[in-house]
Structure 1
Amino acid sequence: MPSTSRSHSTRPADKPGVASHALDAAEIGPWHWDLRTGAVSLSRHAAGLFGCTHAVPATYAGFLDLAHPDDRVFADTLLQQSAAGQGAFDFDIRAAATGQWLRVRGRCDPGEAVGIVIDAGRRPDRQDVRLAAIVTSTADAIISEAPDGRVTAWNHGAESLFGFSESEMLGRSLLELVPLDHQADAARIRDRISHGSRVEHFETRRRRKDNTVIDVSLTVSPLHDQDGHLLGASIVAHDITAMKRAQVALQEREAHLRSVLETVPDAMIFIDSRGIMRSFSATAERLFGFTAAEAIGQNVSILMPSPYREQHDTYLTRYLATGVRRIIGRGRVVVGQRRDASTFPMKLWVGEMISGERHSFVGFVRDLTERQETQQRLQELQAELIHMSRFTAMGEMASTLAHELNQPLTAVASYLNGCRRLLDGSAHVHGLMLRDAIDRAADQTLRAGQIIRRLRQFVARGESERHVENLAKLIEEASALALVGVKETRVRVTFAFDPAVEFVLADKIQVQQVILNLIRNAIEAMQETALRELTIATAQRDEDMAEISVIDTGPGIAPDIEAQLFQPFVTSKPHGMGVGLSISRTIIEAHGGRLWAESNPAGGTIFRLTLKALSKEEIDNGA
């Protein structure tokens, strides 16, 4: 190691010769360093460049004192490296006395170093200051190393990251920071740098002063001089320990989630704000027939039949724009579609996740096929039992009604026939009008008897004669009878027929009897109300059912009656028998439809019934 004792001489270095004067004239200051004794000699011009006006240093330590305090360690490191390797050196430092930037160049040979000092001809500009500030203040470690791995620069970020101060690390090897199981990584990086390659974002591990090991991302760039010789490398080290921990935690959560997705009995599907599936559980694979690889990246609408498939993206866009929830957070029964295009009932729950401005959704799907089949079998059994009990009661009631009503109807028919014969032999001025009225009364009497016989036959054998009927005509005929005398009641009647529903399969007499009964009940219910509006409407119900609605603005159904409304002998009328609605429901259900009541939002009651609808194509094909 060269001597570093500090002493100064009041005389200049060796007496300059011709060469020295020539160099001075060229504003080049030569200097010499004796590696064996540590003595340093400078020419007058070299001393002047450093700002020496009195004493000229005669030792290596004194020579270093001529450099700016912030540049001394840097200069010492480079000179010592050159002395150890007998190589060239070329670097810039500032003069301590003047702050002037100087370039120091030379070469170390066995036993000595010979060099020159010249004016570097520059001062740090704003960009230099800015760059120095960035290097000083950045949280990342910025390090320079010599080709042999010794540290030549160490910023504040490196001090914070590794725990070593600049003075502790300058001149030491960076391999001291490399754990044993990562030495091979460091060797690979050094090999690439020696070949002039840059290493970017290399994730590895390093040891801190307190022996804790941290994860770092390294970007290493080779440094070359003007002649292309390798001077070392610059290293930027970024602490990724927290990120790695977060990644591990995320991987653990993902593994846990995958385990849940693979074992949960309900299908789970994650979608993004565009409806694209991002996760597809094992249960979802079994339920829909798609593999996760096939489903992920596809729009979730492929799991829906039309028209829901075409409407789904519109619903999603509308929610994201308005924030109005319709199905999120609620369970609902919907229809799903499998890969083979078969459909099935399912219960769907949708949850929402928000991260910043990003929305994503998770759907939990439960197959209801088996449950609905079981419920349907139970309902069919229950309906059959109820059906049989109703028919038993209706059989008894129909027999009694037929016996009790046929006698007075027969008597009425006989009296009317007698009156007709009397009028035939009379020249009464209104004879023609009276005969017509009597004929009409007789026809209605016979019709009433026919209805009773048909109802009795229907209850007895459990079937009816159904034909293709024009729905509007069927309703108009029934209404014409039911609305006799309606003007006196001041009830406003409105018909609203849906042209899409034209034909139904029905026993005309039975269905007209039901409609007549519902209209009569509605008119009677509005006798005590100021607003009296009756609406009879038709509409498409599902694909193959027609719906008929009888809507009134009466007082509504009494709570104590509502639950028993369709049971036999339950009525709110003072003189009613309570069999009309029970018989009506039995007739409609025998047609494969439904009859039910619900509250009218405008006040009053709505009775709805459904019948089998037929299209023209079905009629032409003999359906």
Structure 2
Amino acid sequence: MRDTAARLKAVLDGALDGIIAIDEAGIVQSINPAAIRLFGYPSDQVVGQNVKMLMPEPYRGSHDQYIKRYRETGEAKIIGIGREVVGQRKDGSTFPMDLGISEVRVANNRIFIGVVRDITERKQADQRAKLLLAEVNHRAKNLLAVVQAVARQTAKKSEPSLFAKAFGERIAGLAASHDLLVRSEWAGVDVGDLAASQLTHFADVIGKRVRLNGPKVQVTPAAAQAIGMALHELATNASKHGALSNAQGSIDVDWREADVSGQETFQMSWSERGGPKVTPPERNGFGRTVIVDMIKHTLGAQVSLCFADAGLTWTMVAPVDRVCRLQSSQTDPQPPENRALACAS
């Protein structure tokens, strides 16, 4: 009997789940170490007390009635496996727990054995999963809306024979920005990485004919999508008509954070030099919609586009809280020559 009792105690003491035994009146007969750690009471403060001390309201007020009803009618409202309830620790804090209760008889006495498990982490994980699914749904709808807008505008401004190519290139640019967001778990994107992702076709000239200049700055997902599409349009135009259409042209892409009249702003510019002579387009196409109108609308920015003889220059100035996720921890570089400020917005 002593050996059996010792083995039983070892099993109960080593159990990972809390185990509490109560009598028909709800008085605790025993509590194992896992339950002691879970509720924060020493054993001598629980054994001999009503188990409802481990419950917050409304469970506490209902518990005695549950036991009384079960003894009188056999209605097992408190018996079962995997019932989710709420426990209360000694410090008054509460936590969700999984409760399973079974009934045993010992020497004609009825004993209820409760097995409890803290499910706080599981509940938090479930909540995170629900929030993530809602966020994925929201982002997917937003992304599809952007794709629809791109398709609609591309169809309006493109010849039917060129639609597939133009649309495919724009979706590829959007996908590049999206890939960066996915890798960062949608936390934001570094501007330098964003610019490089939109210039992958010209990777061999980055640092030579294409210079990316600016501090480490993380932009929000919305800003990353808008700026990424704008850079893609600028790069496409430069390869067809601008500084990347010959062997001599160069491009400076600059960004920084700066105080303008007491307002923190994010500034970015695209400046071309050495390409063919620039002539303003005869009509406004979808490219202008992306690099001017969308940036204004999405980021609340001031945007200027200058078709100077020396080369196209595009500049945006936006409130920093509409663009940046984190303030730059580095010293801002000297501002680039802002040639576009003299041009009409």
Q: Shorter-normalised TM-score: what interval?
A: 0.3 to 0.5
- The structure whose RCO (Cα within 8 Å, separation 6+) is larger is 2
TM-score by length of 1: 0.23
Greater radius of gyration (CA): 1
